[in-house]
Amino acid sequence: MDRYAVIWTRTTGQPVKLADMVLNDQQLRITRTDEAMAAGLPGVSMLHDLAGLQQIVYARGDTQRLPPQLQALIPPRDPHNLQRLLLGKLLAREVQIAGMKPLDQEWHMLTFAGHGGIGHLDVFKSDAHALQYYGQVARPAIDAQSGAAMWSAFRRLALDIASQQDEDLVMDTLGPTPAVSGFVPKLVVPIRLVNGVWEGAMGDAAAGATPAVVKLETYPGLVALEELAYAVHRKAGIATPKTWAVTLTHAQEPVRMLAVERFDRTGDGRPIPVESLFSLLRTGNPRAYGSTTDGSMEKLGEVLSLPGLLSDPVAAKRDLYRRFVLAILTGNGDLHTENIALQGGAGSAALTPVFDPAPMRAYRHFRKNHNLLSALPFGGIGGYFQHGEAGYNDYVDGKLTPPDLGKRLVDFGVTLGLSRPSCKDELTQLLACTADYADEVRQILDVIPTAERKPMQPDSAGFLRTLGDVRLAVAASYALPGRGRRVQ
Ligand SMILES: Nc1ncnc2c1ncn2[C@@H]1O[C@H](COP(=O)(O)OP(=O)(O)O)[C@@H](O)[C@H]1O
Ligand SMILES: [Mg+2]
């Protein structure tokens, strides 16, 4: 049976139809409209736009997944994902998807809620649904008190201790909110600030609320650590969105959250296309890039160098280098291909501001893969799987720090086209930028009450030791002469 859907966008300020979609048992076919092609509107992927494709056909056979750009508009395929659970329940009021093939279930989620999310693509069941969505009046504003009640219910849902009343409160307050990828429970909602402070009120972006991604704290200390990591990036001069770390209290229960201003909306509310590096890699080669830890940092450099894609690939590669070094120095081993993205269109693309700089190595006891040196391999080491040179596999799970880390970082910078001296300069500057970081981490982690530590168990001592080891390994080795130069 053929199923139909459409893609619209508001990039120009006005709703415009971008494409028609047909899904059947054999394939998913996306056909861009002549009008969108003629107007040069950004399509589903920057890569398609670069190639000037009007029709894209995905065989259904092997993967049974939506293309990555559309997958990014629905919650991750994890049965415990909170947004996915809520979406499934809202959807059940309209259509029963249980028992359908996974891809058909996701198609229903996509056409039901795949609009208003990150980037410029809005998916609907039909043109009529699109027009109805764009014409709808603003949802009523939610005051700080009701907001705190809603977030508190959302927290109980995340902890799996919610009542039916909590669930109804969240669903009725928000309706089908746009989905967002990632592991942490979060919502994409416009927040209303009072004198630059967020106290829980929400509203409509058209009525002056700030479009935001709001992440709920489920790991003790993580909101403060992520906020600190943003501050470090800001200090290093890297573009970061505005952030607000807040604790709302409802019925004596604190709810900690990090609200992050959306960078994919212009001041007047128009969407800016965003595509993750995962999406670009997978679009180019679906078989080779099944997960967000496939590939390597060097490969990302190649993507940024694709002819005609970025407006300033040299600047972007330097920026990527600095972000990567900061991830290593701050203990964020989670810089995988869905935590790096481009924004803009093919030809004018640039890296988005930084997002998700969470230093997950602090939570090494909770999950082994939180303690990675680097989610992606680089210079023959790091990565999630047993990549790398013989003898370096011990570094994969973060047990040890490679003694020649600095030298390997310099070598990696050289593959991005940076000169050896400028890599060394960057390392010197970024080491200086993070000189106080461990102290600040200590201040955050050491005051977490014992009762709140389990089960994630932030490990202050272990994390600080690793941060120290990493700094030492970078500082001790990065000034070493490069390959091919004679040591006097
Ligand atoms: N400030 C932002 N503006 C626009 N999109 C964002 C912003 N922050 C995050 N995102 C999008 O939301 C997704 C999930 O956010 P992220 O912080 O990575 O959460 P998680 O910690 O769960 O991985 C990101 O992959 C990115 O696409
Ligand atoms: Mg993420």
Contact by Cβ (8 Å): 305, 313: yes
In a domain, 299, yes or no: yes
Residues 102 and 157 occupy one common structural domain: no
Please identify, by atom number, the ligand 1 atom nearest to the C-alpha of residue 262.
Answer: 3
448: in domain: yes
Question: What pLDDT is attached to residue 427?
Answer: 97
The pLDDT score that the predictor gives to residue 388 is 40
* 332/341 Cα distance (integer angstroms): 17
Say which ligand is closest to the CA of 83. Answer: 1
Please indicate, yes or no, if residue 421 is contained in any of the structural domains: yes
* CATH assignment of the domain containing 462: 1.10.1070
Structural domain of 315: 292-477
Residues 153 and 238 in one domain: yes
* CA–CA dist 429, 425 (Å, integer): 6
Is the residue at 57 inside a domain? yes
- What is residue 232's predicted lDDT score, i.e. its pLDDT? 98
Residue 124 falls inside a structural domain: yes
Q: What pLDDT is stored for residue 246 in this prediction?
A: 97
| Domain shared by 130 and 151, yes or no | no
- Domain match, 153 and 125 both: no
Final residue in a domain of this structure, among 208, 239, 261: 261
Domain match, 224 and 310 both:
no
Q: Where does residue 149 rank: exposed (0-12), middle (13-18), buried (19+ CB within 10 A)?
A: buried
pLDDT score for 98: 84
- Give me the helices (H) in 247-394, please: 277-284, 297-304, 313-330
| Phi and psi based region of residue 116 (left: phi greater than 0; alpha: psi -120 to 50; beta: remaining) | left
Give the span between the Cα atoms of 145 and 40, in whole angstroms: 45
Residue 283 lies in a domain: no
Point out the ligand 1 atom lying closest to the alpha carbon of residue 356.
Answer: 17
Please tell me whether residues 105 and 165 are part of one structural domain: no
Q: Residue 374 and residue 396: Cα distance in Å, rounded?
A: 8
The pLDDT, as a whole number, for residue 207 is 87
Q: Nearest to residue 398, comparing CAs of 384, 418, 409, 414? A: 384
Q: Which token pair is 301?
A: 């450099």
Q: What is the pLDDT along the chain (488 residues), one digit of tens a residue?
A: 899 999 999 999 999 999 999 999 899 999 999 999 999 999 999 999 999 999 999 988 756 789 999 999 999 888 788 888 888 888 888 888 888 888 889 999 999 999 999 999 999 999 999 999 999 887 789 999 999 999 999 999 998 899 999 999 998 888 777 778 778 889 999 999 999 999 999 998 888 999 999 999 999 999 999 999 999 999 999 999 999 999 999 999 999 999 999 999 999 999 999 999 999 999 999 989 999 999 999 999 999 999 999 999 999 999 999 999 999 999 999 999 999 999 999 999 999 999 999 999 999 888 878 888 999 999 888 887 654 443 444 554 455 788 899 999 999 999 999 999 999 999 999 999 999 999 999 999 999 999 999 999 999 999 999 999 999 999 998 876 555 444 44
Instruction: Give residue 394's pLDDT.
Output: 53
Question: Are 332 and 460 found together in one domain?
Answer: yes
Dihedral Cα 176, 177, 178, 179, nearest 10 deg = -90
Domain count of the fold of the chain: 3
Mutate to test the pocket of ligand 1, among 73, 78, 181 (most ligand atoms within 8 A of CB): 181
Answer yes or no: is 484 within a domain.
no
pLDDT of residue 488: 40
Within its chain, how far is the Cα of 249 from the centroid? 27
* pLDDT value of position 484: 44
Q: For residue 395, what pLDDT is reported?
A: 56
Ligand 1 residue neighbourhood (C-beta within 6 Å): 118, 180-184, 213, 241, 260-264, 338-339, 341, 355-356, 358
pLDDT at 79: 77
Q: What is the pLDDT of residue 140?
A: 83
Residue 461 lies in a domain: yes
Mutate to test the pocket of ligand 1, among 356, 363, 370, 456 (most ligand atoms within 8 A of CB): 356
Residue ending a domain, among 212, 240, 261, is: 261
